[in-house]
Amino acid sequence: MPTVVVDDLASGDFLLDVREDEEWQAGHAAGALHVPMSDFVARYGELTEAAPQDGTVNVICRSGGRSAQVAMYLIQQGIDAVNVDGGMQVWEASGRPVVDEKGQPGTVI
């Protein structure tokens, strides 16, 4: 499974958050695309429209389990995807900004 650590992500890298709605609303990385894993297949087109054509899709969830499954699915579809090791828990712990659904400081649940 291709994996990247949070510290290796640059501010402009494409980030796909596959956590559920209540997790997203509590806190997420600004600029990330949100497509919950439970809706992923039905909403797959949202990803293909938003993802960079020649770039990597960095997939993130709370700790890395769900994002690993989605990254593997994307790889099987021919998309350059990697799992973000440790997920949003490591994102927040490393001091990266987390915002809520209103753009205010958020928290990872």
Query: Known catalytic residues?
Result: 61
Per DSSP, the residues of 18-60 read -S-HHHHHH-B-TT-EE--GGGTTTTHHHHHHHS-TTS-EEEE
Which among 36, 26, 32, 30 has a CA at the least distance from the CA of 100? Answer: 26
> Which position has the token pair 């993130």?
60
Which among 35, 44, 39, 28 has a CA at the least distance from the CA of 101? Answer: 28
Six-digit token string for 55: 């770039």
